[in-house]
Amino acid sequence: LLKDFTNALLARIGEDNLILYRPLDYQGIRGLTHLKVQAAIKEWEFTSDYHYKIRFETEAEYLEFLDMIEMEFMVALEQGASIDRGVRKVMGELGNLLATKGVPRYSTVLVGSPKLIQKTDGEMIRFEIPVDYQRNSKSDKKFLKLTLDTHIYNQPLRENPNHSVKTAYHEAGHAL
């Protein structure tokens, strides 16, 4: 067992709450990312103090936003937990930008396509995400730019290259 499974998994053997899931495929990753982003959008609109209505002008911009989260935050060994962390990071930074720039409560916020502007060798990524907002239909749109700096999660794969096939991770279940 020690050769094929992680210490974290072995420590849970015998517990009632040990649930194994197979690693996520593309469809599972996309579905989880979509669910997490939609949950964050609803949280900003309905439960935050600001009640921002976060929207994307086109489906293509939304899909590029999901691609950014999946490509830059997904860690194979962490599965859903890394997606969750990435969504929380991006949406948290977006909320901080809106609040610090004085975007009024109940504003409609349009998020554009993320643009990769810097990627160093395994250390840092920087995205710029265009953000427009308006208080109501009569007010002028105002443009902001979210610059998202984050570290790339470079985690070495396990010593045994076959164990990722043998072992499934439960983090995706927590996220769902």
Q: What is the per-residue pLDDT across 113-169, written as a single tens digit (0 to 9) for each?
A: 888 777 666 556 677 888 888 766 655 567 788 877 665 544 444 444 444 433 344
Which residues, in sequence order, are CB contacts of 3 under 8 Å at separation 6+? 160
Comparison of pLDDT for 10 and 132, the residue scoring more: 132
- Please, which pLDDT band fits residue 173 given cuts at 50, 70 and 90? very low
Decide: pTM greater than 0.75. Answer: no
Comparison of pLDDT for 22 and 26, the residue scoring more: 26
C-alpha span between 78 and 66 (Å, rounded): 18
Which residues, in sequence order, are CB contacts of 171 under 8 Å at separation 6+? 78, 79, 80, 81, 82
**127: β partners:** 116, 148
Say yes or no to pLDDT of 172 above 60. no
- Grouping H, G, I as helix, E, B as strand and the rest as coil, residue 100 is helix
pLDDT tens-digit map of 23-61? 788 898 999 999 999 999 999 999 889 999 999 989 999
Say yes or no to pLDDT of 3 above 50. yes
Residue 166 has a pLDDT of 37
- Grouping H, G, I as helix, E, B as strand and the rest as coil, residue 93 is helix
Comparison of pLDDT for 80 and 116, the residue scoring more: 80
Residue 136 has a pLDDT of 62
- Please, which pLDDT band fits residue 4 given cuts at 50, 70 and 90? confident
**Cβ(105)–Cβ(131) below 8 Å:** no
Mean pLDDT for the stretch of residues 50-75: 90
C-alpha span between 99 and 151 (Å, rounded): 23
Comparison of pLDDT for 135 and 101, the residue scoring more: 101
